A and B are shown apart, each in its own frame.
Chain A
Amino acid sequence: DSGVTQTPKHLITATGQRVTLRCSPRSGDLSVYWYQQSLDQGLQFLIQYYNGEERAKGNILERFSAQQFPDLHSELNLSSLELGDSALYFCASSQRDSVDYEQYFGPGTRLTVT
């Protein structure tokens, strides 16, 4: 168990809908990363927050947004969902705002868009 929790584990929704994925980092970790894992694209970095502020952005679509709250949990919001958004979404956390600190991954949320 990495200490990173993600809810829900599974989510099934229809095209055009909006969903929110939640992540609680390990105790003491200030940095949260979001990744998307799909069969065709592999594991793609979406966005990183550190202590409430956005730090880095990857291949995140404009329909997607995220935030990190004062208690350090983070939410990833996905809107106007398309079939191609079906994927595993992982959250990871690390102690500091530097990539040389190991990232600890949560179990993921499997999103299915029908």
Chain B
Amino acid sequence: AQSVAQPEDQVNVAEGNPLTVKCTYSVSGNPYLFWYVQYPNRGLQFLLKYITGDNLVKGSYGFEAEFNKSQTSFHLKKPSALVSDSALYFCAVSLRGTGNTPLVFGKGTRLSVIA
């Protein structure tokens, strides 16, 4: 079975500092990995995905994530945080190559960027 762990419920960072939101996954094969963001009273918005190829994936709003197979991680990063980045971030995983396997989401990490 697939699973995703986001070990931090909350991450606080000062504006202008780099941010990292952690994600580790467990699948019995090769994963598809995704990051989504949820702003208050809104649905989830797609940020980026790893399917195959380059381990460093660049996405929307200056975010990037690095796929690390040996550590089964897919941490979300941004070099310089903005107050507007404050939101709930979800990591998700699916199993590649098995047809249509639904996404499994982590519990979410609340990012708070302080001015």
Q: How far is the CB of A41 from chain B (nearest CB, A)?
A: 9
Total number of residue pairs linking A and B with CB closer than 8 Å: 59
B residues in contact with A103, CB < 8 Å? 44, 46, 103
Contact A105 B100 (CB under 8 A): no
Residue interface bits A1-35, CB-to-B below 8 A is 1, else 0? 01010000000000000000000000000000100
The DSSP consensus for interface residues of chain B is loop
A residues in contact with B102, CB < 8 Å? 33, 45, 48, 56, 58, 99
Could you list 7 further interchain pairs (A-B, Cβ under 8 angstroms) beyond the known A103-B44, A105-B45? A2-B45, A33-B102, A45-B105, A97-B100, A99-B101, A100-B49, A105-B44
> How many chain A residues touch B (Cβ–Cβ < 8 Å)?
25
A42-B107, A99-B32 known; A105 and B101 CB under 8 Å?
Answer: no
